[in-house]
């Protein structure tokens, strides 16, 4: 076009610097004005970068191009482009483009009076249409850069099932038209991305390309586009075989054909034009099948009475009722899962007596770990904008820790969740966890490169990490932001640990601590006694040898134990890893010839922490019953009660309510106003006293002839141990016991319930 004689006196609009780098503006030095292109038009370009030249206005020397922000009235319209535009204070120019609230103007000259730089507002007039300029917002000018980014990866779907998206400046990249949608088609893309706007880089010209279709292995790639040019975004994916369930389900009526897991489904006249699309995770047949699925496309949910079709098979039917959003996320029944991003030094996963340091804790709330994994994958999929599980950022952008810094000196307070910036280097990041003891911070969403010497600042001269730093770059888990599931086990991402894991999953996860090491729980096995009934008393003990007696000398009382009335029991040797995490401990008082039984809630290296109720006075009492409003909500049958007024003890035989307990023996003289406590030790230290821990010692509360109960506990396995199990319920069954070996497969036995016909 520009080689025609009619345009030889005009400067050319575009210049190819290289086959993948182009310029627009005043290309020829003799060109009168820079050529303009608006951001929406650039969205039609691909296979190269575009930067502007001489758009920057310099008063007195270069006319340039300015961007002016108008208010939301938007009276000046696209039809006015190319016409004169003026400001109330005398500025004059030509309207070049309109994008939302922005007007792009080429001033009539480089004179100061045509800069459209009024900060006092004032009206802009074009073709008799008037829009006020936003008060306090002077015109902006500077060069622009659109860098080219394109995806590649043979493992990605080449059809329209995989939707790729881009994060820029913590938001999803969408069209400049303001419609909130991406402008490229489904599947692989090749686009020009605006990375410098009116002379300022957007988020340091960094973008992140994502593939996060639920039920696939996720993928992302971070890209620095500051140099312009053509830049690949390599992405890879595959089927995630650990995602078994869909987040939604619906019921069809009048259905025909077969609905197959993995089959795309849609509503509308045809797949190509459909706006509602999904993928089946659980199919079915018949006239009224129930389907599980997840959404793809623009993530618009199906509604009742719509006709649903399967793309690959001949399935069709009518949606009968509103689709169901399964409880608390993708897995029906998963509830209460939380993720806390903060330093935590309370976990001793390998149970060696030394705690590890972590940056985030996933509370499974006793849900199976595979289902929790699915739940978190769902909450980091494309389209997830919730922030509750992902440290305050949209789930679809969550990637995890990318930098670990060990510093020398802390000045003031540097808080978790704050953004820090390093002097000189300008590197930034958001703190996930701050370990004050070891002087370690872990960061996410980092930009730039941290050096080993300059201060890292939250608030300059007040809150800083100072001194020599050790910088470690961490590669977040691209396929699964919270860690990958493989071989039946969840390998947590860097800095991650699980809490409240169900006993059956104790060995189905690997924690990844801040020290860069993996930790797993010791091998655990289950001890189980089945066929129980309510009111059974059930116990399992270690024996000295097979066929021997109960081993009562597992520990002695530590010399620092002190007087009676303690809420802990300190023992020798160290407890090790062989005991249930909570249960009962038996103290044999050698001098008195009495065994005391205490319930413990946890244990450490050599210390059992007991369940206790602090000293208080009863509201009323008989010698075998205590009433105290609200005092017994957490008391259990078998807890030891000490009446300090009478210096006598008894055990709880029944928790009548949160207000009343019954006792197994009379506390002589017990009456209203007596002082008592529950669970505290009754023996002072004696070197001859012995301590042992039953594996199980319970008063059964569930089970019937129609629905038998069971009692079980998980313990660490290290070597085979002979054990004895017993069950008794006077007046119901004859006393039962069974002996066996606690081995690598655990120990289980069912009570033989022989009716006791003699007891009366």
Dihedral through CA 484, CA 487, CA 488, CA 492, nearest 10? -30
The pLDDT of residue 173 is above 70? yes
Element (H, E) at 375: helix 369-378
The pLDDT of residue 578 is above 90? no
The pLDDT of residue 329 is above 70? no
Mean pLDDT of 718-742: 96
Mean pLDDT of 626-635: 97
Distance of CA 450 to the CA centre of its chain: 26
The pLDDT of residue 733 is above 90? yes
431 φ, ψ (degrees, to nearest 5): -75, 125
Give per-residue pLDDT as tens, 432-461.
999 999 999 999 999 999 999 999 999 999
In order of 138, 255, 334, 338, 565, the CA distances from 328 in angstroms are: 48, 29, 6, 11, 45
Residue 660 forms beta bridges with which residues? Answer: 627
The pLDDT of residue 76 is above 90? yes
Share of the chain above pLDDT 90, in %: 89
The pLDDT of residue 197 is above 80? yes
Share of the chain above pLDDT 70, in %: 99
Mean pLDDT of 636-656: 97
The pLDDT of residue 331 is above 80? no
> pLDDT at position 58, please?
97
Q: For every residue of 296-356, which 3-state class applies, written as one string?
A: EECCCCCCCCCEEEECCCCCEEEECCCCEECCCCCCCCCCCCEEEEEEEEEECCCCCCCCE
The pLDDT of residue 157 is above 70? no
- Res. 154 pLDDT band, cuts 50 70 90: confident
The pLDDT of residue 158 is above 70? no
> pLDDT at position 31, please?
80
Distance CA 708, CA 163 (A): 51
The pLDDT of residue 410 is above 90? yes
Beta-carbon contacts of 387 under 8 Å, excluding residues fewer than 6 positions away, are 393, 394, 395
Mean pLDDT of 195-209: 97
Per the prediction, the chain carries an average pLDDT of 95
Q: Which residue has the tokens 């002082």?
A: 675
Find, among 280, 262, 276, the residue nearest to 305 by Cα: 276
The pLDDT of residue 160 is above 80? no
Element (H, E) at 39: helix 39-42
Give per-residue pLDDT as tens, 235-263.
988 999 999 889 999 999 999 999 999 99
Beta-carbon contacts of 662 under 8 Å, excluding residues fewer than 6 positions away, are 624, 625, 652, 653, 654, 656
How far separated are the first and last CA of the chain, in Å rounded?
Answer: 112
Question: What single DSSP character describes residue 448?
Answer: S
Give per-residue pLDDT as tens, 6-62.
988 888 999 999 999 999 999 998 888 899 999 999 999 999 999 999 999 999 999
- Res. 353 pLDDT band, cuts 50 70 90: confident
Give per-residue pLDDT as tens, 492-503.
999 999 999 998
CB atoms within 10 A of CB 439: 17
């Amino acid at each position: 076009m520009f080689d025609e004689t009619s345009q030889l006196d005009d400067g050319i609009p575009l210049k190819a610097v290289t086959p993948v780098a182009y310029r627009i503006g005043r290309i020829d030095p003799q060109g009168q004005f820079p050529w303009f292109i608006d951001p929406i038009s650039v969205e039609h370009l691909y296979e190269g970068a575009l930067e502007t030249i001489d758009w920057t206005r310099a008063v007195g020397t270069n006319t340039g191009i300015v961007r002016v922000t108008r208010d939301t009235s938007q009276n000046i319209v696209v039809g006015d482009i190319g016409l004169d535009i003026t400001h109330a204070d005398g500025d004059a120019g030509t309207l070049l483009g309109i994008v939302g609230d922005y007007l792009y103007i080429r001033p009539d000259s480089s004179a100061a009076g045509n800069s459209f730089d009024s900060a006092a507002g004032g009206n802009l007039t074009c073709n008799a249409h008037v829009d006020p300029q936003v008060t306090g917002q002077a015109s902006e000018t500077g060069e622009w850069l659109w860098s080219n980014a394109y995806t590649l990866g043979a493992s990605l779907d080449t059809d329209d099932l995989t939707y790729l998206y881009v994060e820029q400046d913590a938001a999803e990249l969408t069209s400049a038209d303001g419609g909130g949608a991406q402008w490229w088609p489904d599947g692989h893309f090749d686009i020009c991305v605006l990375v410098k706007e009116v002379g300022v880089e957007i988020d340091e010209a960094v973008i992140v390309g994502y593939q996060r279709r639920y039920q696939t292995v996720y993928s992302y790639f971070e890209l620095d586009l500051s140099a312009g040019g053509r830049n690949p975004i390599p992405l890879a994916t595959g089927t995630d075989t650990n995602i078994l369930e869909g987040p939604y389900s619906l019921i069809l009526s009048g259905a025909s054909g077969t609905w197959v897991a993995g089959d795309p489904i849609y509503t509308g006249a045809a797949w190509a034009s459909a706006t509602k699309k999904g993928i089946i995770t659980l199919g079915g047949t018949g006239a009224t099948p129930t389907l599980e699925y997840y959404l793809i496309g623009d993530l618009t949910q199906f509604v009742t009475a719509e006709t649903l079709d399967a793309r690959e098979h001949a399935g069709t039917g009518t949606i009968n009722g509103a689709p169901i959003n399964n409880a608390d996320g993708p897995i029906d029944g998963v509830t209460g899962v939380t993720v806390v991003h903060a330093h935590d030094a309370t976990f001793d996963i390998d149970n060696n007596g030394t705690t590890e340091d972590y940056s985030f804790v996933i509370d499974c709330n006793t849900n199976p770990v595979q289902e929790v994994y699915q739940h978190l994958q769902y909450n980091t999929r494309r389209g997830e904008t919730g922030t509750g599980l992902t440290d305050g950022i949209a789930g679809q952008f969550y990637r995890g820790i990318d930098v670990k810094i060990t510093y020398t000196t802390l000045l003031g307070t540097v808080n978790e969740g704050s953004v820090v910036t390093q002097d000189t280097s300008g590197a930034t990041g958001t703190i996930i966890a701050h370990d004050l003891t070891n002087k370690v911070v872990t960061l996410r969403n980092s930009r730039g490169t941290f050096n080993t010497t300059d201060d890292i600042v939250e608030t300059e001269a007040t809150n800083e990490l100072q001194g020599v730093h050790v910088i470690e770059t961490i590669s977040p888990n691209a396929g699964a932001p919270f860690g990958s599931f493989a071989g039946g086990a969840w390998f947590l991402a860097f800095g991650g640990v699980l809490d409240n894991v169900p006993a059956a999953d104790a060995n189905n996860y690997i924690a990844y601590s801040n020290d860069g090491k993996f930790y797993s729980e010791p091998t655990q096995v289950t001890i189980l006694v089945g066929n129980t009934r309510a009111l059974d008393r059930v116990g399992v003990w270690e024996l000295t040898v097979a066929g021997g007696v109960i081993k009562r000398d597992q520990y002695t009382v530590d010399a620092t134990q002190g007087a009676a009335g303690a809420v802990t029991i300190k023992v020798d040797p160290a407890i090790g890893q062989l005991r249930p995490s909570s249960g009962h401990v038996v103290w044999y008082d050698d001098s008195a010839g009495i065994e005391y039984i205490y319930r413990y809630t946890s244990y450490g290296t050599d210390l059992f922490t007991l369940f206790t109720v602090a000293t208080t006075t009863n509201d009323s009492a008989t010698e075998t019953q205590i009433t105290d409003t609200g005092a017994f909500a957490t008391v259990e049958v078998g807890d030891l009660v000490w009446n300090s007024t009478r210096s006598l003890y008894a055990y709880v035989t029944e928790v009548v309510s949160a207000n009343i307990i019954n006792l197994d023996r009379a506390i002589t003289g017990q009456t209203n106003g007596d002082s008592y406590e529950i669970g505290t030790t009754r023996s002072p230290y004696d070197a001859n006293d012995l301590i042992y821990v039953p594996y199980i010692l319970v008063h059964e509360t569930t089970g019937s002839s129609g629905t038998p109960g069971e009692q079980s506990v998980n313990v660490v396995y290290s070597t085979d141990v002979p054990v004895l199990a017993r069950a008794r319920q006077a007046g119901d069954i004859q006393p039962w016991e069974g002996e066996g070996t606690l081995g690598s497969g655990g120990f289980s036995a069912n009570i033989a319930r022989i009716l006791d016909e003699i007891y009366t």
